[in-house]
A and B are shown apart, each in its own frame.
Chain A
Amino acid sequence: MRKSTKIVLCLALALCLISMVGVSLMQCNFGKTKVSVFTGSLSELANMIRENNKAYGKDVQVTFSESDTA
């Protein structure tokens, strides 16, 4: 592998890494904000709402359709 290829490869990867870390830090406000991602289905979300109701003594009604297919 040529030296210039190695340099460009390392630089490109470094830029990607700087980007990932920087964005992540900005999103969590340097640790002051907790960030979580939910990627489940609507029925799973509905179950989470019911569990939250139990855990926090709330009575939020699920009004959206829980079906996952049209």
Chain B
Amino acid sequence: MTLIPKNATNSNPVPAIVVIHGGSNTKEMQMNTYIELARRGFVVISMDMAGHGYSSEAVDSLTHGTLGSEAAVEYAMSLGCVDKNKIGITGHSMGGNSSSFAIRELNVEGSEQRISAFVSQCGTMGTSQLTPESLKGVITTIGVAYYDEFDTVYFDSPNILTNDAGKSMIKKVYPGLSGNVIDGQWYTPEGPVGNPVPGQALSVDTAVRIVNPKITHPMFHFTKIGTSIVVDGFYSAFGTPPGANYIPPENQVWPIMVAFQLVGLIGFFMLLFPLVDILINTPLFAGIKRNLVDLSTTSSFLNVKEITLTVLTVAALVFIGFRTYDKYFPIGSSLVNTTVYSARGTVGNGIGVWTIVSGCVLIIAMIVTYFIRRLLYAKSGTNVSNPFAPGVLDSVSQFFRTMLFAFTVVAIMFVPVYIARYLFNSDFRICSFVVMAPELKRLPVLIFKYLPMWMLFYVPNAIFNANTRYKDIPEWLSTTICAIANSLSLVLYIIVQYTHLYKYASLWSPKGGMAGIAAFAVAPCLAFAAYSARYIYKKTGNAWSAGTVNALIMCTLTIIPNGNISDLLLPF
């Protein structure tokens, strides 16, 4: 995506900035950066890294770690409205790493195609690629988040200003550094210099600084402070672009765009309910309807046995979900043959494997509670119904119609998403929780490789949901019990992981950095799934329809932003 502000013309070339998102994200994830830089008069190119978003996976092995950023830089240089001697690059996380690789590739001795400004947003690992030669003529800002989920583990980020990792970064430009690094201080080859006048560039062409804000890894591209660091880094390198007005870095409008994206996200999920209502009453899908369980035969919640059993079941599901998330997400992530610079599909696989485990646990829980109920109610003669009854279908034909129903609901839900993409160049999201239009060529992989993992969780989940009904408490309360059973494990994981991070500046589970970040998106999905499953089941009496609709939506949301979805090694 190229953004050219009005002040940038062939007769008034301005600096250009290449902006790169992090792993398992897409170019839109850097909207805070590209919006703020473009409105300040910079030409901006925000790109999908190879293997991400709508980028092809095939070029990945050809880009020597730059994942396409080198190509974006050269394209920026070629534009008529760009001053080819003023090219900046910035990236978050893996995008920061690929930025460092681009600098390593382009800023070699004798080259005239050099990058002259760099802001690393938590791409600390990639800075090891930077050499003193490659940093010549570059105004470099290395943003290392104090509470970074990864850098606390690998670089001791709370102490980056005093440890060897931080000092060695500065010494690549200023070998004479003695003592500790000062937060935000510019260092030139001759020594420290003061900040430039706001809106003006530094008076030198080579300088480096480390900024160590007290934020987490994803917060770097989702907070005003992170965005300010990026904007200030490029103002310090290039000054105010010619023909543009200086806007203080703290003056930011991107949160308004976030609000618009969130509105779309709400609209997307709201669509589910009327679509189910409309489609289930069409002749094609009327046949998938089954009878609902009669409430008069369901259990009474207000007795000690039932309350105890319900509480114990939910507690067991939450506890097991909590413990297995920490264990199976990393295992799932590691199933892909990947390197640190090619972390394709890891979030999808991590969640997918945990989803399989959770689905199996749920099935076991339903079987166990069924037999416990039979024991509890044996003397009273109360009939304990088959817990899998809501999942029983009349025929194979009904099964396939149910699948078609689920696919139709979800396909129609995605129509506005495609319109958003092709007509408005937008999508629906909040931070890394993204609804974007999947490319049709990727659907077979999504359906045949990934969807079965999600169905193994969401279909039993819908059956469990259908069973968790009581004749003496309101419907919303029993659904909320299901929502808690679904999502509390991840809410607890977030609380434990981040309380530990903020209290001790280290992760409770050091291998769970990505898992913790992903949990922020997965937890609300799981809570929502309880309500949507109940709604669909009430309309259809068919737990397969509820489970498959949820599985399709959640699988698509998890997999598509990863771009490359062909890496899964499980033999589906």
Given contacts A45-B71, A65-B59, A70-B59, contact A52 B426 (CB under 8 A): no
Interface positions, chain B 42-88, Cβ under 8 Å from A, are 54, 56, 58-63, 66, 68, 70-71, 74-75, 77-80, 84
- The answer to whether B60 touches A70, judged by C-beta atoms less than 8 angstroms apart, is yes
- From B78, B416, B425, A52 is in contact (CB under 8 Å) with B78
- The answer to whether A64 touches B70, judged by C-beta atoms less than 8 angstroms apart, is yes
Residue of B78, B261, B428 most packed against chain A (CB within 10 A): B78
| Complex CA–CA separation, A9 to B68 (angstroms) | 41
A residues with a Cβ closer than 8 A to B are: 1-2, 5-6, 8-9, 11-24, 26-27, 29, 32-39, 41-42, 45-46, 48-49, 52-53, 55-56, 58, 60-65, 67-70
- From B39, B71, B259, B260, A42 is in contact (CB under 8 Å) with B71
| Complex CA–CA separation, A15 to B5 (angstroms) | 28
- The answer to whether A13 touches B105, judged by C-beta atoms less than 8 angstroms apart, is no
Number of A-B contacts (CB under 8 A): 183
Q: Which of B268-276, B373-381, B394-402 contacts A (4 or more CB under 8 A)?
A: B268-276
- The answer to whether B39 touches A19, judged by C-beta atoms less than 8 angstroms apart, is no
**B2 in the interface, Cβ–Cβ < 8 Å?**
yes
Extra 11 A-B pairs, beta carbons < 8 Å, given A2-B277, A9-B278, A20-B423: A19-B262, A19-B263, A23-B257, A23-B425, A32-B39, A58-B77, A60-B78, A60-B113, A64-B63, A65-B62, A70-B59
Top-7 shortest CB links A-B: A19-B264, A15-B267, A22-B260, A23-B426, A52-B78, A12-B270, A9-B274
**What residues of B have a CB within 8 angstroms of the CB of A42 in the complex?**
59, 62, 68, 71
- From A16, A18, A64, B268 is in contact (CB under 8 Å) with A16
**What residues of B have a CB within 8 angstroms of the CB of A8 in the complex?**
270, 273-274
| Complex CA–CA separation, A67 to B39 (angstroms) | 35
| Complex CA–CA separation, A12 to B277 (angstroms) | 14
- The answer to whether B79 touches A70, judged by C-beta atoms less than 8 angstroms apart, is no
**What residues of B have a CB within 8 angstroms of the CB of A55 in the complex?**
80
CB distance from B338 to the nearest CB of A (A): 15
- From A16, A35, A64, B71 is in contact (CB under 8 Å) with A64
| Complex CA–CA separation, A24 to B416 (angstroms) | 14
Closest A residue to B61 by CB, please name it. A70
| Complex CA–CA separation, A12 to B278 (angstroms) | 14
The secondary-structure label for the interface of chain A is: helix
CB distance from B366 to the nearest CB of A (A): 32
- From B79, B277, B423, A5 is in contact (CB under 8 Å) with B277
- The answer to whether B63 touches A20, judged by C-beta atoms less than 8 angstroms apart, is no
- Tell me how many residues of B have a C-beta within 8 Å of chain A: 62
- The answer to whether B1 touches A16, judged by C-beta atoms less than 8 angstroms apart, is no
- From B35, B68, B80, A56 is in contact (CB under 8 Å) with B80
**B256 in the interface, Cβ–Cβ < 8 Å?**
yes
B residues with a Cβ closer than 8 A to A are: 1-6, 10, 31, 35, 38-39, 54, 56, 58-63, 66, 68, 70-71, 74-75, 77-80, 84, 105-106, 113, 253-254, 256-257, 259-268, 270-271, 273-275, 277-278, 416, 419-420, 423-426, 428
Given contacts A20-B423, A63-B105, A63-B106, contact A27 B271 (CB under 8 A): no
- The answer to whether B6 touches A23, judged by C-beta atoms less than 8 angstroms apart, is no
Given contacts A23-B424, A36-B1, contact A63 B70 (CB under 8 A): yes
Given contacts A19-B264, A27-B257, contact A49 B75 (CB under 8 A): yes
**What residues of A have a CB within 8 angstroms of the CB of B420 in the complex?**
16, 19-20, 23
- The answer to whether B264 touches A16, judged by C-beta atoms less than 8 angstroms apart, is yes
**What residues of B have a CB within 8 angstroms of the CB of A22 in the complex?**
256-257, 259-260, 263
- From B63, B264, B275, A65 is in contact (CB under 8 Å) with B63
| Complex CA–CA separation, A5 to B280 (angstroms) | 12
22 contacts between A and B (CB under 8 A): A8-B270, A9-B271, A11-B267, A12-B267, A12-B271, A15-B270, A16-B419, A16-B428, A17-B416, A20-B416, A26-B253, A27-B257, A27-B425, A35-B2, A37-B2, A37-B425, A42-B71, A48-B75, A62-B74, A64-B68, A65-B62, A70-B59
**What residues of A have a CB within 8 angstroms of the CB of B4 in the complex?**
33-34, 36
| Complex CA–CA separation, A42 to B71 (angstroms) | 8
| Complex CA–CA separation, A67 to B59 (angstroms) | 7
| Complex CA–CA separation, A53 to B82 (angstroms) | 12
**What residues of A have a CB within 8 angstroms of the CB of B266 in the complex?**
15
Closest B residue to A54 by CB, please name it. B78
**What residues of A have a CB within 8 angstroms of the CB of B271 in the complex?**
9, 12-13, 16
**What residues of B have a CB within 8 angstroms of the CB of A65 in the complex?**
59, 62-63
**What residues of A have a CB within 8 angstroms of the CB of B2 in the complex?**
35-38
| Complex CA–CA separation, A41 to B56 (angstroms) | 8
**What residues of A have a CB within 8 angstroms of the CB of B79 in the complex?**
52, 56
- The answer to whether A53 touches B78, judged by C-beta atoms less than 8 angstroms apart, is yes
**What residues of B have a CB within 8 angstroms of the CB of A12 in the complex?**
267-268, 270-271, 274
| Complex CA–CA separation, A50 to B366 (angstroms) | 64
CB distance from A13 to the nearest CB of B (A): 7
- The answer to whether B3 touches A33, judged by C-beta atoms less than 8 angstroms apart, is yes
**What residues of A have a CB within 8 angstroms of the CB of B277 in the complex?**
1-2, 5
Residue of B261, B267, B416, B419 most packed against chain A (CB within 10 A): B267
| Complex CA–CA separation, A35 to B46 (angstroms) | 11
Closest B residue to A65 by CB, please name it. B62
